[in-house]
Structure 1
Amino acid sequence: MNIDDTRYRQALERIEALIRHLRANQSAACSLAEEEDLMLMRLADWQTGLQPHHQAAIAEIERLYQHYIRHEPD
């Protein structure tokens, strides 16, 4: 397994974690809830369409994971 495959598989796992997190912690504020809904749609698209060569998307998934799950600043 090469590094791209590893990052791809990790990205798929992180998509699942992000979806679970966003669904479990959805904001009550309308503007934030709308933003989270858009992110859930984007994650769902990646969940079905992500490929190992989609490096920009994989990097964005990592950034989102660090922000929402690890609570690290952008």
Structure 2
Amino acid sequence: MSLWDAREAAAATGGEARGDWAVSGVSIDTRTLAPGDLFVALKAARDGHDFVAQALAAGAGAALVSRIPEGVS
């Protein structure tokens, strides 16, 4: 069951979705990310953008970012 898809995420955030995807959960931490989750890259004490590639490699369905990290397409 889908929690959010690319079209809904773009409409809700005012951003741009790349590709056609759907996610089943949300995570801000690659250590607790489940396959199919949306990884949200927060900028806090550590910049979540530094972990986007790791999240995608771990099975994230998509990543919500404010900038595209180097090495991630």
TM-score, with normalisation over the residues of structure 1?
Answer: 0.26
Larger radius of gyration: 1
TM-score, with normalisation over the residues of structure 2?
Answer: 0.26
Higher helix share goes to which structure?
1
Higher strand share goes to which structure?
2
